Structures are given as C-alpha cells and as structure tokens.
Amino acid sequence: MTSEFVNRLKVCRAERNWTQADLAEQLGVSRQTVQALEKGRYDPSLPLAFRIARLFGRPIEAIFVQ
Amino acid sequence: MNTATKAAAANKKKMDDLTVGLCALVVVSSGLTVATPFWPAQLGNAPQLGVVLLAAAVAVFSAIHSLHWWRALDEAAKEAHKWAWWWGGNLGLVVGGAGVVAATLMGLDVNLLPAFVQRSDAALVATGVLGVFAAQAVGYGLAWCGWWMARR
C-alpha cells in the first residue's frame, strides 16, 4: 500500500503553517486525501501533482522524490 | 477562491438547483390527479398522472444528481469507489450468489418475503435477486471502508 515515492508534502505544509484541511481546500480535495498523500499511501495523478507543485511554487521533483 | 473550490461551489449550486426543481415538481405533481393517458391496458388501472411524472422526474433527478456528485468527488474518493465497486461488489455478488444457490440446493425454506407479498415463484426469485444485491452492497461498503482504512 505504501507508495514508491517519498514526498515532502507534510514539510511544505508545515512551512506555511497550514492544516491538512487548509491544504485540502487549496487543492480542491478532501482532508482524507491529503492525509493519504502525506503518509505516502496514495500516489496523486499527474494533474494533482502539478497543482501541488504550483501551490508550493516548487518543481514536482522537489516535492515527490523517488 | 481557487479554481478547484470554484468548480466545487458551482457543482454544489447545480445540485441545489436540481433539488429545488424536484421539490417544485412534487408540489405540481400532487395536483395532477387525472389518470395517465395512453396507459397500456395490460398493466391494469392507470395511475395518477402526477405519480407517473414524479417517478420519471425522480429517475432523471437521481441520474443527474449522481453525475454531479461523481464530478464533485476528488480523485482519491473516486478511486476508493471504483475499487470498492470492482472488488467489494464482485466478491459480494459471488458470496451472495453462492449463498442463494446453496440455500436452493439444500432446500432451505427461509421465507424472507414481507407479509404483504403473496408467495410465488416470481416473488421468490425477486427475493433471491434482492438478496444478492444486498450482499453486493455490503461487499461494496466493506471494501470502501477498507480502502480508506488502509490509507489512514
């Protein structure tokens, strides 16, 4: 169930002092989805990965690391 | 408000409008007490036109509402439903179907028919089909919960 990627989503969110609910609202997804993403138990689609990268102003590879 | 939030708000408004429309139709339909025209004689007495209109409207409303509901889900939620539909629904179908077949082969006479339904072959077959649907629904629900539990 664990993803083959490591992601820095939780770190990026913490840097902005956002809650999971804040991030979920910004991304247009549910809080449960953010939780699954942060725990690496769900891999986002490419469009969602791009939305995440754009939101944090970083390239995708800076957030999702193989 | 970002694009995703705007889309979700627009979707919610469409669902709200549909609900208001359906409520208005309930009021209008309740006044249409005339018999439904062109009703096939072999189906028995024609029901009230309002009832037929309302039933058709509920079917259309359910379809459109389901579409908007599905579009409003995020990708993980859709994935959970698709996974549950395939694995939970199919396993439920297999288990429920096996249960019905086993009950038939063993000659179990379990009467699950409600009191107001007359016992007949058709009623028993319908009960079996509904039993399998129920097993599918249970499988679906369990699989859906399992998908999310595994990702907590």
pLDDT of residue B4: 66
Neighbours of A51 (CB within 10 A): 19
Which of A20, A31, A32 would best serve as a mutation to test chain B binding (most B beta carbons within 10 A)?
A: A32
- Gap between the Cα atoms of A28 and B152, Å rounded: 19
Reported as type and span, the H/E element at residue A7 is: strand A6-7
Q: Is residue A64 part of a domain?
A: no
pLDDT of residue B39: 84
Query: CB-CB: which of A1, A36, A51 is closest to B76?
Result: A36
- Gap between the Cα atoms of B79 and B85, Å rounded: 10
Q: Is residue A31 part of a domain?
A: yes
Q: Is residue A61 part of a domain?
A: no
What is the chain B residue with the closest CA to A48?
B75
Does B74 reach chain A within 8 Å, measured CB to CB? yes
Q: Is residue A18 part of a domain?
A: yes
pLDDT of residue B1: 57
Q: Is residue A25 part of a domain?
A: yes
Distance from CA of B15 to the nearest CA of A (A): 18
Query: CB-CB: which of B2, B7, B77 is closest to A30?
Result: B77
Of A3-7, B47-51, B57-61, B121-125, minimum mean pLDDT range: A3-7
What's the pLDDT tens digit per position in A13-45? Answer: 999 999 999 999 999 999 999 999 999 999 999
Q: Is residue A27 part of a domain?
A: yes
pLDDT band of B2, cuts 50, 70, 90:
low
SS3 label, residue B1: coil
Within 8 A by CB and 6+ apart from A2, the residues are A40, A41
Q: Mark A12-36 as b/e (b = at least 16 C-beta within 10 Å).
A: bbeeeebebeebbbbbbbbebbbbb
Look up the domain containing A19 and give its range: 6-56
| Domains in chain A, number | 1
- CATH number, residue A33: 1.10.260.40
What is the chain B residue with the closest CA to A30?
B74
Q: Is residue A65 part of a domain?
A: no
What is the chain B residue with the closest CA to A36?
B151
Do the beta carbons of residue B29 and residue B54 sit within 8 Å? yes
Q: Which two tokens stand for residue B125?
A: 């077959």
Q: In degrees rounded to 5, what are phi and psi of residue B145? A: -60, -45
Does B145 reach chain A within 8 Å, measured CB to CB? no
Question: Is pLDDT of B21 > 70?
Answer: yes
Query: CB-CB: which of A32, A37, A48 is closest to B148?
Result: A32
Q: Is residue A39 part of a domain?
A: yes
pLDDT of residue B40: 85
pLDDT band of B105, cuts 50, 70, 90:
confident
